[in-house]
Amino acid sequence: MKNLKEEFLEMLSGYQGILHKVSLIYFKNKEDREDNFQEIVYQLWKSYPKLKKKESIGSWIYAVSINTSISRLKKNGGVEYREKLPEQKHETDFTEKLLMNEQLRMLIHAIHKLSPVDKSIMLLYLEEKSYEEISQITGLTVSNVGVRINRAKKSLKQNLNHQNHDNR
Amino acid sequence: MTTDSLQNIWKNIDSGIEQKPKKELESILEKKIKKTMNKFYVSLGISMTISIGFLIFLIMAAIRKPDDILYQINNYLLSVLVLFALGSSIWSWYKLQYNKNNLPLKEWLELRIKWLSKWLYNKWVYFLLPVLFILTFFSLHFYNPYLSFTEVTENPESLIGILVGILVGGVVVFFVFRANRRSHRRKLEYLKELLEELCEKS
C-alpha cells in the first residue's frame, strides 16, 4: 500500500502543469515563478490529507495555486514580482521556448497586465473550465462568473490591442 | 487576435511546459518542509528563550526581595502576563499560518481578512503592551536587593530615571510596534481591495 507522500507525489506529477501555468500568469520573473511553484507544492501537501473528494482534485489544485499566488503578491499595484533587470531578460526555463510563439507571448504579456482577480478568472476561462467549476474555485455565483469572464476578456482584448498598436 | 481564438492559443502552453520528474518534486517538497520548519523553530526558539530567561529573572529577583511585597506583586504579575503574551502570540501565528488555502478564492479572502483584522485590531494589545512595558521597566529599575520598592522612589535621581526611562522606552516600543503593524495593515488593505474587486457587480 502506497504511503500518503508517494500518493501525493504521484498525483502532483500528473497535475503539475496547473502549478506552472498559475505561476506563469502571476509572476514575470523566473526566480519568483520557481519560488511560487515550491510554495504551492508545500501548501498542497499541507491540505492534501483533508482533501475529501478525490474526484475534484483539479479544482482543489487551482484553488490552492491561485490563493497561494495571490497571498505572495503585495499591494504595490497588485504585483510583487521583481521587475526584470536587463541582464535577467533572457529566460532560461521552459518559458523561453513558450515565448517563441508570438501569439502566446502576446497573450501572456496581456494577462500580466490584468488585476490579480481577473488573472485567475481569465486563466480558468482559457483552461476551458465550466461556469460551475469556476464558481467552485472562485466562490462567485454561476451568474456572476459569466459577467466577470466578459469583463476580463474585454480588459484582455484592450491590452492586446495596445500591444498590437505598440508593435506597429 | 479575437477573444474566441484565445483558448486555442493558450492550448500551446501545454506542449511547452517542462514536467518535473517525481524525484525533483519530492526534493522540492522535502526542502520546503525543512525550510519552513526551521523558520518556525528558530522564531519559536528565540521567543521561548527570551521569555523563559525573563521569567527566571523575574522569579529570582522576587525571591531575592522577600520583604518587598510591591516588587513581588510587580514581578509575579509580569510573569503571568509574559506567559499569556507568549501563548497568545504562538496561537495567533499558528492561526495565521493555518489559512485553509484550499477554500474558494472568495471564502479564502474573507477568512484571511477576518484573521488579520482580528489580529491587527485586537484591543488587548493596546492594554497589554503598555502594562508589560511599565511592569518590565519597574522590575528592572527597582532591582536592588538592598532597597525596597518605596525606598528607591524616595531618591530624586531615581524618579528622574523612571520618567526618562519610561519616556525613551515608550517611544522605542511605540515605533517598533507601529512598524510591525504597518506592513500587516498594508496586506489587509490589499486583501480587502481584492475581495471588493471580486465581489463587485457589473
Q: A-contacting residues of B 50-109, CB under 8 Å?
A: 99-108
Q: Do A124 and A157 have their domain in common?
A: yes
Last residue of a domain, one of A77, A109, A139: A77
pLDDT in tens, B28-47: 999 998 988 888 788 888 88
Range of the domain at A47: 1-77
The DSSP string of B149-173 is HHHHHHSHHHHHHHHHHHHHHHHHH
Question: Could you tell me which residues come within 8 angstroms of residue A27 by beta carbon, excluding any fewer than 6 positions away?
Answer: A33, A36, A69, A81
Answer yes or no: do A75 and B201 touch at CB < 8 A: no
Q: Do A20 and A57 have their domain in common?
A: yes
Q: Do A72 and A108 have their domain in common?
A: no
pLDDT in tens, B105-129: 999 999 889 988 887 887 777 777 7
Answer yes or no: do A38 and B33 touch at CB < 8 A: no
Q: Do A9 and A41 have their domain in common?
A: yes
Q: For chain B, list residues with pLDDT below 50.
A: 202
> Which pLDDT does position B30 carry in this prediction?
93
Which chain B residue's Cα is nearest to A34? B28
Q: What is the CA radius of gyration of chain B?
A: 26
Answer yes or no: do B102 and A115 touch at CB < 8 A: no
Q: Do A56 and A125 have their domain in common?
A: no
CATH number at A64 reads 1.10.1740.10
Q: Do A113 and A44 have their domain in common?
A: no
> Which pLDDT does position A90 carry in this prediction?
47
pLDDT in tens, A80-91: 444 443 344 445
Answer yes or no: do A13 and B13 touch at CB < 8 A: no
Which chain B residue's Cα is nearest to A42? B29
For chain B, domain boundaries: 3-201
Q: For chain A, list residues with pLDDT below 50.
A: 1, 76-90
- What nine digits make up the cell of B72? 513581588
Q: CB distance from B34 to chain A under 8 Å?
A: no
> Which pLDDT does position B168 carry in this prediction?
87
Residue A94 forms part of a structural domain: no
Q: Rounded to a whole number, what is the distance in Å from the CA of B116 to chain A's nearest CA?
A: 13
- CA A54 vs. chain centroid, Å, equals 22
Answer yes or no: do B28 and A41 touch at CB < 8 A: yes
Mark A103-133 as b/e (b = at least 16 C-beta within 10 Å).
Answer: ebebbbebbbbbbbbbbbbbbbbbbebebeb
Last residue of a domain, one of A42, A77, A112: A77
A74 contacts in chain B (CB < 8 Å): 186-187, 190
Structurally, chain A folds into a number of domains equal to 2
Q: Do A60 and A122 have their domain in common?
A: no
Q: CB distance from B28 to chain A under 8 Å?
A: yes
As a whole number of angstroms, the distance between CA A27 and CA A22 comes to: 9
ipTM of the complex: 0.81
- CA B142 vs. chain centroid, Å, equals 29
As a whole number of angstroms, the distance between CA B66 and CA B97 comes to: 43
As a whole number of angstroms, the distance between CA A61 and CA A23 comes to: 13
Answer yes or no: do B1 and A107 touch at CB < 8 A: yes
